[in-house]
Structure 1
Amino acid sequence: MSIQTAPRRLDARQLLALVVDAGSFRSWDVPVAYADPSAAYASDLAAARQKTGVDESVLTGEGLVQGRRVALMVSEFGFLGGSIGVAAADRLTDAVERATRERLPLLAGPASGGTRMQEGTLAFLSMVKITAAVRRHKEAGLPYLVYLRHPTTGGVMASWGSLGHITVAEPGALLGFLGPRVYSALYGEPFPEGVQTAENLRNRGLVDAVLPPDELPRTVHRALAMLLPGSTVPVPAPDSLSSTPEPLPAWESIRISRNPRRPGVRQLLHFGASDVLPLNGSGQGEKDPGLILALARFGETSCVVLGQDRERGTEQAALGPASLREARRGMRLAEELDLPLLTVIDTAGAALSKEAEEGGLAGEIARSLNDLVGLDCPTVSVLLGQGAGGGALALLPADRTVAARHAWLSSLPPEGASAIVHRDTLHGPEMAQAQGVTVSALAAHGIVDHTVAELPDAAEEAPEFCRRMARAVEYELASLRAVPRAERLARRTDRFRRLGSAL
């Protein structure tokens, strides 16, 4: 019989030693002062200093993470449960503000029971100043990464612990707003097991990954390589791009796009991106298999990717409102960090169900459109395969649109359009041709800028097709980075304002 042992938890100094390059850490901390602590509280502080060898519940400073300069703030749980009083809050706020002034990415490693009870309401309210500093850091376009450690609860989880651009968690960590001890004392029974765990939060889309501490340095380095500004060197247009595709029968393209062997967004990232860092969920307790959210790099250009996943399996038949809430998280991330946004459209349509209606699907489509047309960052959309209905429309508006040769876009699947007009589904091919769903029709109206060839069908040459599409994406992303913001936004508005005006 094997004996289960609790995982070893690192204290603040051990975590810093693991994450930063050897000898590179420099503390930013200055001696702390307390406003007339009671004798009992002073005794608690002295005991905590003696026990841990540190002077407060947080340590801050800077170091190199695989050669990259990073600001850090890390909790010491052994110091009064990592609780945050006024002095600790001031130390954290000072560190965030310094990181902002010095234009440094910031890594937080909380492990805390929350507010320091010995200091009462002032300590409780100190979470506001930390949150305000983190907000200003993010408004400056600087990355804020969070590594949730065991345990993180209360006011810390409800402030700076939950504001990361990317949030990962320690395996088996207790994470949540409510402290289990408080719940048990108030209600006379234990809190349900398995709820406040890192793994459950990942499954619920509240954290991006569960990660052992020894994987943190490499992950931070990869994330920052994509989150921080990269190369702005122009990329030459690939030979495979075409701006005037030859017309094809609409039904031929629709039939080809429905081939289950056709490559989707997963293959595009696998064969075409130089690095991919998956993200997870909406951050609001939802995770929908209909959408892939990731950071990716095409050539030397990083971006946020929102991809409708044709390999979503049987968990959900179509794109639902949770997928679009997750997509809107990606849009905010791209805008906050001034990263290009890439949307990949490949859907047979949005979910048509009671759950989708009650989940606010129509409103989420509207809000996705509203966000996309006004994003400050460069945007590129890719029509990769099927483009049916509101699910496709929700991710379409962009500065530039690239399409696979056999992609298509329509307000409904052709069979649905046939049902409305002819009261049967037999006229689908006829409706598709009449409605102008093909790439050549979209290009003629200025909606598709470039097409990528399929030789003759992407399903028959998936790796080569995905590499061609990736080169097209890299070209469009790099080209847009060189366009001034105001000009880019004006062009985006004009693109759709003029739609149909020549007819």
Structure 2
Amino acid sequence: MTATELKAKRMTATELIDTVLDAGSFTSWDAPVRRPVIGEKYAADLAAAESKSGVDESVLTGEGLIRGRRVAVIVSEFRFLAGSIGQAATERITSAIERATAEGLPLLAGPASGGTRMQEGTLAFLGMVAITDAVRRHKESGLPYLVYLRHPTTGGVMASWGSLGHMTVAEPGALLGFLGPRVFETLNGTAFPPGVQVAENLYRKGLIDAVVTPEELPAIVDRALRILTPTQGPDPAIVPEVRAGTPSDASAWESILISRNPRRPDLRMLLAAGAVDALPLNGTGQGEKDPGLILALARFGQQSCVVLGHQRPRHKDTPAMGPASLREARRGMQLAEELQLPLLTIIDTAGAALSKEAEEGGLAGEIARSLNELIGLKAPSVSVLLGQGTGGGALALLPADRIIAAQHSWLSPLPPEGASAIIHRTAEHAPEVAAAQGVEVASLTRIGLVDRVVEELPDASLEPREFCTRMGQAIELELANARAIPANERLARRRAKFRTLGA
């Protein structure tokens, strides 16, 4: 979409509100603005902006319904001095965020702005601190903060409340970035490289979660809020009847071979067939994404959670899980803490990347930081051994309050062939090494690591949907069990579990 087409199709603040909110449900929270001391030219600019836009400031705030659910909204009006934020707009935004927090409402922000208002100088610039603090306190209250970046969003707005969403989506073709291209060209005498500050490129780089039209936005917000703020909280007395599975009689090596079947259900299928709903997120939010990990918001039965897990490569030339995967995983951990939701981790990896890029990207440090975050996570947590569980890449997602294992999953410091090579200088002894190391579910249950086994009848690759349904039910039950652990006991119990394994 060209800049001319975008300009022609750009929605006003009122049009966006009418598109996203249920018809007739919007109620304004805006009080008359109080202007700072201003000169004649600026006063004339403000009067012209009011006349052009039909509104009294560059943002509109209020509340309404999205698919019947109360939501607070803050929407920029770009026609009012390019959506710039001055002292009056800062006060309006901050007051709206604080009211949303006080009333326990999720908040949807729709910025479209050139940044802070140059006519008001440093005071306008400093207003971004107050807005950021209000967003921070909203998120600390466990309330969702969702952002829809519109064309264009740049400067201080992009560098504050535009980039703090739990979930951030953007308008197709939107110009998004820190430095406006006109400013860059004026300062540097050359045009900014094309295609960089565009929504689709930011998605490819893992900076935003999706690119959606305004018409698609209500459905996305509705799905997110169904997971993040269910109309009724889960009833701990209602849990699925899940038959307790037992470890398989198969040998460790037999389970390893079964787990390597490319037809075995993976995380994508588990979310599709085992979850009520799943909404994928994208990347670290810091310019990285790795195909080795999936991050999503999901609901299993009554239980909502943040999901992060290994995505088994579909092609042999797909790169193994790298350090960016674990930085994305830590985004998921932070989301679980902020949203006060359980964290679900899914382990299914043949091992982390062994490469120059992984080493220079700090893979070992990322594994250590992931372990550190998980063992100290304040949120309830459940981990699932879904298939292969090799090395530090598996260990990095393991620490949790409750651990579920598919019958033919396993956990080992190295692939058995690698362990055999170390011990015997040949891979031929892999089956006996696997048995001796106790990598299979029977051994993991015996040492106290695994809390629940999910049956494979006799192999998940032969009954993928049925297996995923059983696993989804087990996840729902164990999420409920993890949530039932008193918050003041959670960390001590988790630490004790890993301190006493095998005792």
Q: TM-score range by the shorter chain?
A: over 0.9
Which of 460, 463, 467 aligns to 2:462? It is 460
Match of 2:228 in 1: 227
Partner Cα separation in structure 1 for residue 353 and residue 386 of structure 2: 19
1:346-365 CA-partner distances (Å, limit 9, x unpaired): 00001111100110101110
What is the 5 A alignment of 1:67-146?
Answer: 67-146=68-147
Partner Cα separation in structure 2 for residue 11 and residue 226 of structure 1: 29
Q: CA deviation at 1:235?
A: 4.1
Partner Cα separation in structure 2 for residue 245 and residue 172 of structure 1: 52
Tell me the SS of whatever aligns to 2:295.
strand
What is the 5 A alignment of 1:400-439?
Answer: 400-439=402-441
Q: CA deviation at 1:248?
A: 2.9
Is the Cα–Cα contact under 8 Å of residues 234 and 479 in structure 1 kept in the other structure?
no
Partner Cα separation in structure 1 for residue 220 and residue 317 of structure 2: 29
Partner Cα separation in structure 1 for residue 78 and residue 316 of structure 2: 43
What is the 5 A alignment of 1:29-48?
Answer: 29-48=30-49
Match of 2:57 in 1: 56
Where in structure 2 are there 5+ consecutive unaligned residues?
A: none
Match of 1:28 in 2: 29
Q: CA deviation at 1:221?
A: 1.2
Tell me the SS of whatever aligns to 2:428.
coil
Is the Cα–Cα contact under 8 Å of residues 26 and 61 in structure 1 kept in the other structure?
yes
Cα gap change, 1:235 to 1:395, in 2 (>3 Å): farther
Match of 1:180 in 2: 181
TM-score of the two chains, using structure 1 as the length reference = 0.97
Q: CA deviation at 1:491?
A: 1.3
Tell me the SS of whatever aligns to 1:427.
helix
Amino acid at match of 2:332: G
Match of 2:261 in 1: 259
1:170-209 CA-partner distances (Å, limit 9, x unpaired): 0000000010000111111111111000000000000000
Partner Cα separation in structure 2 for residue 206 and residue 378 of structure 1: 27
Is the Cα–Cα contact under 8 Å of residues 275 and 298 in structure 1 kept in the other structure?
yes
Match of 2:445 in 1: 443
Partner Cα separation in structure 2 for residue 306 and residue 137 of structure 1: 24
Partner Cα separation in structure 2 for residue 234 and residue 254 of structure 1: 37
Cα gap change, 1:224 to 1:237, in 2 (>3 Å): closer
Is the Cα–Cα contact under 8 Å of residues 235 and 479 in structure 1 kept in the other structure?
no
Is the Cα–Cα contact under 8 Å of residues 239 and 476 in structure 2 kept in the other structure?
no
Q: CA deviation at 1:441?
A: 0.2
Partner Cα separation in structure 2 for residue 398 and residue 252 of structure 1: 27
Q: CA deviation at 1:376?
A: 1.2
Q: CA deviation at 1:488?
A: 2.4
Partner Cα separation in structure 2 for residue 265 and residue 241 of structure 1: 22
1:128-148 CA-partner distances (Å, limit 9, x unpaired): 000000000001111000000
Which of 355, 376, 386 aligns to 1:353? It is 355
Match of 1:341 in 2: 343
Partner Cα separation in structure 1 for residue 428 and residue 313 of structure 2: 28
Q: CA deviation at 1:312?
A: 4.8
Which of 257, 269, 272 aligns to 1:270? It is 272
Which of 281, 284, 287 aligns to 1:285? It is 287
Partner Cα separation in structure 1 for residue 264 and residue 459 of structure 2: 8
TM-score of the two chains, using structure 2 as the length reference = 0.97
Amino acid at match of 1:137: H
Partner Cα separation in structure 2 for residue 316 and residue 33 of structure 1: 57
Tell me the SS of whatever aligns to 1:30.
coil
2:233 matches 1:248: no
Q: CA deviation at 1:234?
A: 3.2
Match of 1:368 in 2: 370
Q: How many pairs does the alignment contain?
A: 498
Amino acid at match of 1:179: G
Amino acid at match of 1:356: A
Q: CA deviation at 1:323?
A: 0.5
Q: CA deviation at 1:246?
A: 4.8
Q: CA deviation at 1:482?
A: 2.3
Cα gap change, 1:315 to 1:151, in 2 (>3 Å): farther
Give the share of equivalent positions with the same residue, in percent: 69
Tell me the SS of whatever aligns to 1:351.
coil
Cα gap change, 1:239 to 1:144, in 2 (>3 Å): closer
Is the Cα–Cα contact under 8 Å of residues 303 and 480 in structure 2 kept in the other structure?
yes
Cα gap change, 1:103 to 1:5, in 2 (>3 Å): closer
1:256-297 CA-partner distances (Å, limit 9, x unpaired): 000111111111111111111110000010010001111111
Partner Cα separation in structure 2 for residue 312 and residue 298 of structure 1: 25
Tell me the SS of whatever aligns to 2:9.
coil
Bigger Cα displacement from structure 2, 196-205 vs 424-433: 424-433
Tell me the SS of whatever aligns to 2:253.
helix
Which of 377, 392, 395 aligns to 2:394? It is 392
Tell me the SS of whatever aligns to 1:270.
helix
Cα gap change, 1:312 to 1:486, in 2 (>3 Å): farther
Partner Cα separation in structure 1 for residue 295 and residue 180 of structure 2: 31
Tell me the SS of whatever aligns to 1:401.
strand
Tell me the SS of whatever aligns to 1:37.
coil
Is the Cα–Cα contact under 8 Å of residues 263 and 462 in structure 1 kept in the other structure?
yes
Q: CA deviation at 1:487?
A: 2.2
Is the Cα–Cα contact under 8 Å of residues 239 and 480 in structure 2 kept in the other structure?
no
Which of 479, 482, 491 aligns to 2:481? It is 479
Partner Cα separation in structure 2 for residue 421 and residue 481 of structure 1: 42
Match of 1:214 in 2: 215
Partner Cα separation in structure 1 for residue 354 and residue 57 of structure 2: 54
Amino acid at match of 2:243: S
Bigger Cα displacement from structure 2, 20-29 vs 161-170: 20-29
1:311-360 CA-partner distances (Å, limit 9, x unpaired): 45456431110001111101100111111111110000011111001101
Q: CA deviation at 1:377?
A: 1.1
2:9 matches 1:17: no
